[in-house]
């Protein structure tokens, strides 16, 4: 198919399947009620059924081998229509690429169809109370027992863990001081005995992420993804799939820019100072889009996409809040609420996926060759 | 002084003292990347270097890309204007021209910022409302500019009788011409910012304090990463503009050029300010030359209406946002008495 054909197909689909009520415009967010959750999950499944969520997958797993440009076009259509990220975002963008790269034939056959259909909701189980930026220090233990493992300890900041059917778990199988050499990746069902999930209310007022407790949770050998003690490489591959993830996020910025342009068009010359600010952020968003679409970041600046996206996102969110406050009669209340929420949520992106400060450290040392401090 | 009417008559006039300027400008603007083209043609070698102002790394990057060995920095605007005049004068530096930007009408006069080598005796007038003109330059009409020229690149105020400005015709609308000037400004600032960033990275790795390279300090590491990112955004946008000119898509190229000018002006100034800061005392010396780089970026930011005008133009390129009427009005080339009939190019001097 061509980019245009994918665009038409996505437009036809979204016309038939308007975004679920209550869904915010950006981020991995939690439906506010059981009714909303059902509507949102059904919308997600329909998106998968139409083949639009996994268009880039190989035909073998039910995909259509869509190119990055074609996937961007699908995402662009959905974002413009105000669609949320599907509940399966973590599964599609973080987990599935790793299963395809590192999973056994049996694991792929067991896990990929559920992701393809939109039934499986995954949560990433990486961070711990004592291991945030220093991920290699993590302490949740997967102790060998028989031919399997027993997991004990606590994870935190696990988006969608309270909704998830599956967990993508990084745990310590080596000695306590083995750092990144003693970690193993596991794919686990979330309904195993001994797993307790507690939602955490964020400063947005919503509970999108959780803490997860493991108390003697037994895993079989088939839960290991890749090699035992080889989990670090698997997790880096996950984080390294940045281009598509950042590309999707940038498309969210692009549609926010378009929405804001629409509003600026309704306002008179009182809005001109805001147009100046808007012009600056529009130029930055266009530049970031051009970088992503032009083949991505140069190797020495790898990781910068998340920094640039998340900081631009704040500038744009602030402008939305300021416009809503300055023009209460002209800015529809729904838009104002949406921007307030979007702005509040922006504060999470500079922290998640590697805090921007850590990413700057990594670029300075690995990319630019500066010494460790 | 020329009494040549506008475009329609160009081909039929035999005694046109500015014909060579027209031809050179038309040729220059027909190139996808005028700055690189100038470098490739050896103009950087041929241009004089008033006051040593062009010695630092202004367009070194663009020049290198064009395959030229020239290391000498030039201000892009005066370069293109000067090159046109050089072509006219057979490489005689006395015939150098400048470019007049930020032009507005004031009674019977046009007022603007002249950006030119000191020897310039002709001026190419860039009209924000559209089109280009040319006029002879009288030293008595020049004054000190309050903002620019601290790096000794000659920027001065100029007042020229509108009646003396001769419309310069071309195949492109004036907005496109102006987009090309914005492109040149951006190119110069980006080259300066990239060069400043590269030498700052070197300095962080080599300068030792407290027994180790200062580049081991996390605060400085974060700063240099951000300097790279500001350069990358501006450079990517500039390259998109260049691609669009090359593809003949003038409308898209003009939008990209204004984006590039905005990002290069803001990002260039910020980057070079930080390059100075990270070099410490040596960064503040005249000898290191970062002051000249800083003013190359300041010109990219300030000329053609400054940060706000560029931002409004970029905003207006997003469907739905109104055109930037107020600032454009201020800069618009209002009809002035004494204009000659026959200057038919859109946006040019006409009664």
Residue-by-residue DSSP string for A18-34: PPPTT--SSSS---SSH
Q: Does B248 touch chain A (CB under 8 A)?
A: no
Helix residue spans in A221-271 (DSSP H): 231-240, 242-266
List A residues 331-370 in contact with B (Cβ-Cβ < 8 A).
357, 360-361, 363-365, 368-370
CA distance A154 to A127: 9
For residue range A31-90, list pLDDT tens digits in order: 888 888 899 999 999 999 999 999 999 999 999 999 988 999 999 999 888 888 889 998
Q: What is the pLDDT of residue B34?
A: 52
CA distance B122 to B95: 8
Q: Does A125 touch chain B (CB under 8 A)?
A: no
Q: Is A333 exposed, middle or buried (0-12, 13-18, 19+ CB in 10 A)?
A: exposed
Question: Which chain A residues touch B318 with a CB distance below 8 Å?
Answer: 257-258, 261, 278, 282
Q: What is the pLDDT of residue B63?
A: 35
* Interchain proximity B222–A368, CB inside 8 Å: no
Count how many pairs of residues, chain A against chain B, have C-beta atoms within 8 Å: 136
Q: Across the interface, which of B212, B217, B319 has its CB nearest the CB of A261?
A: B319
Kindly give the interhelix angle for B306-316 and B250-279, rounded to the nearest 10 degrees. 140
SS3 A370: coil
- pLDDT reading at B47 higher than 60: no
Question: Which chain A residues touch B242 with a CB distance below 8 Å?
Answer: none
pLDDT band with cut points at 50, 70 and 90 for residue B267: very high
**Best mean pLDDT range from A22-31, B169-178, B315-324:** B315-324
Helix residue spans in A81-158 (DSSP H): 89-90, 96-102, 105-117
How far, CA to CA in Å, does A143 sit from each of A147, A214, A233, B109? 11, 12, 20, 86
Cβ pair A305, A299 in contact under 8 A: no
* Interchain proximity A373–B221, CB inside 8 Å: yes
Q: Across the interface, which of B217, B224, B318 has its CB nearest the CB of A257?
A: B318
Closest-CA distance, B224 to chain A, in angstroms, reads 8
CA distance A286 to A265: 19
Is beta strand B155-161 parallel, antiparallel or unpaired with respect to B142-144?
A: antiparallel
Q: Does B198 touch chain A (CB under 8 A)?
A: no
Q: What is the pLDDT of residue B141?
A: 81
Cβ pair A200, A207 in contact under 8 A: yes
Cβ pair A293, A69 in contact under 8 A: yes
Maximum C-alpha span of chain B: 74
- Which residues of A belong to the active site? 242
Q: Does B201 touch chain A (CB under 8 A)?
A: yes
Contacts of B182 (CB under 8 A, 6+ apart): B254, B257, B258, B260, B261, B304, B310
Across chain A, what does the average pLDDT equal? 92
State the best of A266, A282, A283, A292 to mutate against chain B, taking most chain B CBs within 10 Å. Answer: A283
Question: Which chain A residues touch B262 with a CB distance below 8 Å?
Answer: 279-280, 283
Question: Which chain A residues touch B225 with a CB distance below 8 Å?
Answer: 301, 304, 307, 360, 363-364, 368
- pLDDT reading at B83 higher than 50: no
Across chain B, what does the average pLDDT equal? 67
Q: Does A278 touch chain B (CB under 8 A)?
A: yes
Cβ pair B163, B151 in contact under 8 A: no
* Interchain proximity A258–B266, CB inside 8 Å: no
Q: What is the pLDDT of residue B147?
A: 57
Average pLDDT over residues B294-313: 86
SS3 A225: strand
Q: Does A277 touch chain B (CB under 8 A)?
A: yes
- Sheet of B155-161, strand order: B142-144, B155-161, B109-115, B97-106, B122-126, B132-136, B166-168
- pLDDT reading at A20 higher than 70: yes
DSSP strands (E only) in chain B: 97-106, 109-115, 122-126, 132-136, 142-144, 155-161, 166-168, 208-209, 212-213
Structure tokens at B312: 């409004």
DSSP designation for A131:
B
Question: Which chain B residues touch A265 with a CB distance below 8 Å?
Answer: 320-322
SS3 B166: strand
Task: Out of A202-206, A368-372, B183-187, pick the least confident.
Answer: B183-187
Q: Does A146 touch chain B (CB under 8 A)?
A: no
How far, CA to CA in Å, does A361 sit from each of A2, A281, B201? 40, 25, 14
Cβ pair A99, A107 in contact under 8 A: yes
CA distance A91 to A112: 9
Average pLDDT over residues B32-61: 42
Q: Does A371 touch chain B (CB under 8 A)?
A: yes
For residue range A292-330, list pLDDT tens digits in order: 988 889 999 988 999 999 999 999 999 999 999 999 888
- pLDDT reading at A363 higher than 90: yes
Q: What is the pLDDT of residue B9?
A: 31
Q: What is the pLDDT of residue B32?
A: 55
CA distance A265 to A283: 18
- pLDDT reading at A125 higher than 90: yes
Question: Which chain B residues touch A310 with a CB distance below 8 Å?
Answer: none
More reliable by pLDDT, B297 or B245: B297
Global pTM reads 0.81
* Interchain proximity B312–A279, CB inside 8 Å: yes
- CA–centroid distance for A7 within its chain: 22
CA distance B295 to B258: 19
DSSP designation for B340:
P
More reliable by pLDDT, A161 or B350: A161
* Interchain proximity B224–A276, CB inside 8 Å: no
Q: Across the interface, which of A265, A365, A369 has its CB nearest the CB of B322?
A: A265
How far, CA to CA in Å, does A271 sit from each of B259, B262, B308? 20, 20, 13
**Taking the CA atoms of chain A, what radius of gyration do you get in angstroms?**
21
Cβ pair B347, B334 in contact under 8 A: no
CA distance B320 to A223: 52
More reliable by pLDDT, A246 or A275: A275
Q: What is the pLDDT of residue A341?
A: 86
SS3 A215: strand
Q: What is the pLDDT of residue B60?
A: 34
* Interchain proximity B215–A371, CB inside 8 Å: yes
* Interchain proximity B315–A372, CB inside 8 Å: no
Kindly give the interhelix angle for A333-349 and A304-326, rounded to the nearest 10 degrees. 150
Cβ pair B82, B96 in contact under 8 A: yes
* Interchain proximity A307–B229, CB inside 8 Å: yes
Apex A77 CA angle, A76 and A79, nearest 5: 65
> What value of ipTM does the predicted structure carry?
0.91
pLDDT band with cut points at 50, 70 and 90 for residue B88: very low
Task: Out of A17-31, A150-164, B197-211, pick the least confident.
Answer: A17-31
Q: What is the pLDDT of residue B41?
A: 53
pLDDT band with cut points at 50, 70 and 90 for residue B142: confident
SS3 A324: helix
State the best of B322, B324, B325, B326 to mutate against chain A, taking most chain A CBs within 10 Å. Answer: B322
Average pLDDT over residues B142-166: 70
Apex A216 CA angle, A215 and A219, nearest 5: 120
Average pLDDT over residues A242-270: 85
Question: Which chain A residues touch B222 with a CB distance below 8 Å?
Answer: 357, 360-361, 364
Of chain A, the percentage scoring pLDDT greater than 70 comes to 97
- pLDDT reading at B95 higher than 50: no
Cβ pair A31, A100 in contact under 8 A: no
Is beta strand A122-125 parallel, antiparallel or unpaired with respect to A166-172?
A: parallel
For residue range B97-128, list pLDDT tens digits in order: 566 777 777 888 888 877 665 556 667 676 55
Q: Which of A66, A53, A65, A69 is nearest to A13 (CA)?
A: A53
Average pLDDT over residues A172-180: 94
Question: Which chain A residues touch B319 with a CB distance below 8 Å?
Answer: 258, 261
Q: Hey, which residues does B145 pair with through a beta bridge?
A: none
Average pLDDT over residues A176-192: 96
**DSSP of B54-83:** T-SSSSHHHHHHTT--------HHHHHHHH
CA distance B232 to B193: 10
């Amino acid at each position: 198919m061509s980019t245009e054909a994918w665009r038409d197909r996505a437009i036809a689909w979204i016309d038939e399947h308007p975004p679920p009520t209550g869904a915010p415009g950006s981020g991995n967010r939690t439906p506010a009620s059981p009714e909303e959750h059902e509507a949102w999950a059904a919308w997600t499944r329909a998106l998968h059924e139409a083949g639009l969520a996994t268009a880039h997958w190989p035909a073998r797993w039910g995909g259509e081998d869509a190119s990055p440009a074609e996937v961007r076009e699908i995402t662009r259509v959905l974002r413009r229509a105000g669609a949320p990220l599907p509940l399966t975002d973590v599964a599609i963008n973080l987990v599935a690429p790793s299963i395809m790269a590192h999973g056994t034939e049996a694991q792929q056959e067991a896990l990929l169809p559920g992701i393809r259909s939109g039934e499986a909701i995954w949560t990433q189980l990486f961070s711990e109370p004592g291991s945030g930026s220093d991920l290699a220090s993590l302490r949740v233990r997967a102790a060998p027992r028989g031919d399997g493992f027993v997991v004990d300890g606590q994870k935190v900041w696990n988006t969608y863990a309270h909704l998830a059917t599956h967990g993508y778990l990084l745990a310590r199988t080596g000695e306590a001081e083995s750092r990144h050499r003693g970690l193993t990746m596991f794919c686990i069902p979330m309904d195993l005995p001994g797993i307790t999930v507690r939602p955490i209310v964020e400063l947005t007022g919503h509970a999108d992420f959780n803490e997860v407790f493991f108390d003697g949770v037994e895993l079989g050998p088939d839960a290991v993804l890749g090699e035992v003690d080889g989990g670090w490489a698997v997790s880096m591959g996950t984080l390294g799939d940045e281009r598509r993830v950042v590309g999707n996020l940038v498309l969210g910025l692009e549609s926010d820019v378009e929405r804001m342009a629409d509003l600026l068009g309704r306002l008179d010359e009182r809005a001109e100072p805001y147009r100046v600010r808007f012009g600056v952020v529009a130029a930055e968003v266009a530049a970031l889009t051009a970088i992503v679409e032009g083949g991505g970041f140069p190797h020495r600046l790898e990781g910068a996409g998340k920094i640039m996206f998340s900081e631009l996102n704040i500038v744009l969110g602030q402008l939305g809040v300021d416009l809503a406050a300055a023009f209460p009669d002209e800015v529809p209340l729904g838009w104002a609420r949406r921007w307030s929420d979007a702005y509040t949520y922006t504060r999470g992106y500079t922290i998640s996926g590697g805090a921007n400060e850590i990413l700057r450290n990594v670029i300075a040392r690995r990319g630019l060759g500066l010494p460790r401090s | 002084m020329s009494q040549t009417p506008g475009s329609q008559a160009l081909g039929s006039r035999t005694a046109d003292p500015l014909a060579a300027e027209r031809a050179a400008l038309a040729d220059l603007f027909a190139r996808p990347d005028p700055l690189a083209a100038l470098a490739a043609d050896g103009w950087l070698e041929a241009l004089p270097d008033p006051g040593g102002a062009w010695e630092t790394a202004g367009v070194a990057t663009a020049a290198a890309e064009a395959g030229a060995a020239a290391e000498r920095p030039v201000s892009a605007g005066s370069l293109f204007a000067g090159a046109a005049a050089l072509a006219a004068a057979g490489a005689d530096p006395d015939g150098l021209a400048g470019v007049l930007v930020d032009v507005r009408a004031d009674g019977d006069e046009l007022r603007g910022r002249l950006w030119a080598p000191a020897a310039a005796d002709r001026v190419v007038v860039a009209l924000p409302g559209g089109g280009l003109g040319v006029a002879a330059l009288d030293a008595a009409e020049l004054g000190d500019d309050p903002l620019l020229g601290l790096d000794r690149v000659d920027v001065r105020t100029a007042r020229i009788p509108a009646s003396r400005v001769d419309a310069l015709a071309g195949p492109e609308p004036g907005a496109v011409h102006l987009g090309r000037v914005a492109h040149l400004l951006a190119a110069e600032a980006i080259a300066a910012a990239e060069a400043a960033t590269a030498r700052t990275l070197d300095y962080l790795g080599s300068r030792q304090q407290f027994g180790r390279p200062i580049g081991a300090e996390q605060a400085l590491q974060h700063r240099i990463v951000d300097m790279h990112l500001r350069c990358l955004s501006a450079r990517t946008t500039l390259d998109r503009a260049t691609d669009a000119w090359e593809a003949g898509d003038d409308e898209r190229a003009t939008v990209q050029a204004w984006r590039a000018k905005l990002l290069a002006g803001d990002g260039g100034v910020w980057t070079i300010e930080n390059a100075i800061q990270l070099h410490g005392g040596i960064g503040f010396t005249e000898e290191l030359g970062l002051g000249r780089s800083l003013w190359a970026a300041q010109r990219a930011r300030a000329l053609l209406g400054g940060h706000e005008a560029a931002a409004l133009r970029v905003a207006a390129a997003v469907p739905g946002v109104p055109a930037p009427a107020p600032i454009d009005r201020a800069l618009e080339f209002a009809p002035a008495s004494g204009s000659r009939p026959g200057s038919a190019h859109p946006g040019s001097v006409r009664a």
